[in-house]
Amino acid sequence: MDHRPRVGVTGSVRRWAPAWWGTKTALSLAGASAMRISTRHGNADETLDALIVGGGNDISPEHYDGDLTSPVFYDPDRDLLEIRWIRYALDHKIPMLGICRGAQLINVVLGGNLHQDIRNLRHLTYNRPGLLPTKQVKIEPAARLAGICGKHNLRVNSLHHQAIRKPGHGLHVVGRDLDGIIQAVETRSGQKIIGVQWHPEYLFYLPAQFALFQWLVRKEWG
């Protein structure tokens, strides 16, 4: 009988979705089973041990009082699906890891808001997206995330043009890039929640990034 933790993973509906396969592989190596959740995939149920809210397209600004005329692509059905799962996880104290869009959406559900476009805020970091760990992020030395990753200076990838502006209720900012843009948030007590602006599912070959998946499936917080 399989006693491995069951982790729901939200994301794209596409059959070839690299983020899904990267996350599934990382979770498998961490000793967990991944259950895919999307508007076309429903193989997760309410027996989940943890939830990963994955990256993807922008969040509809109606959810955080943003500019409704902003000319970007949204997926309203995905927004609603993931909001329901985040609220379920919050209500049932299920550990959560938010990745890029996922970190932003957890923040929005908790009452925070977003920068809709950070490109004009960048001066020391690139707007150019990339999967390789080329961007610097400084983690607060006392943060749980620093203990999980084993360091407080990280090299990460970057695929986003939006970011957390005001953290939601119970979330603490623990990581920023060289421009001061928020790159990581976490809870300090109670439910296990970490949100990162980068994509660790593409970097799980690095011990500091793989540690996030190991942390998610451990029973203890630290």
pLDDT digits (tens, 9 = 90+) for 33-84: 999 999 988 756 668 999 999 999 899 888 988 776 666 677 899 999 999 9
Least Cα distance to 32 among 125, 95, 78, 119 occurs for 95
Report yes or no on 154 lying in a domain.
no
Q: What is the pLDDT along the chain (222 residues), one digit of tens a residue?
A: 457 999 999 998 888 899 999 999 999 999 999 999 999 887 566 689 999 999 998 998 889 887 766 666 778 999 999 999 999 999 999 999 999 999 999 999 999 999 998 988 888 887 778 899 999 999 999 999 999 999 999 999 998 889 999 999 999 999 999 999 999 999 988 899 999 999 999 999 999 999 999 999 997 766
Number of helices followed by number of strands (H, E) in the chain = 5, 11
Q: Other CB atoms closer than 10 Å to residue 201's CB: what's the count?
A: 27
Of 138, 7, 137, 30, the C-alpha closest to 85 is 7
Whether residue 184 is contained in a domain is answered as: yes
Cβ atoms of 104 and 163 closer than 8 Å: yes
Note down the domain range covering 57: 6-116+162-173+180-217
Buried b (16+ CB within 10 A) or exposed e, 52-66: bbbbbebbbbebbeb
DSSP at 219:
S
Kindly state whether residue 69 falls inside one of the protein's structural domains: yes
Residue 150 lies in a domain: no
C-alpha 109 chain-centroid distance = 13
Which one from 63, 100, 160, 186 is the annotated catalytic residue?
100
pTM of the predicted model as reported, rounded to 2 decimal places = 0.94
97 in any annotated domain? yes
User: Is 186 one of the annotated active-site residues of the chain?
Assistant: no
Among all chains, which residue has been given the structure tokens 């920068």?
115
Beta pairing class for 6-10 and 33-37: parallel
Q: What is the CATH number of the domain that holds 39?
A: 3.40.50.880
Which is catalytic among the residues 63, 115, 160, 199? Answer: 199
Reported as a single tens digit per residue, the pLDDT across 70-85 is 666 778 999 999 999 9
In a domain, 131, yes or no: no
Instruction: Tell me, yes or no, whether 134 lies in a domain.
Output: no
Whether 147 is in a domain gets the answer no
Structural domains of the chain, count:
1
Active site residue 199: yes
Catalytic: 161?
A: no
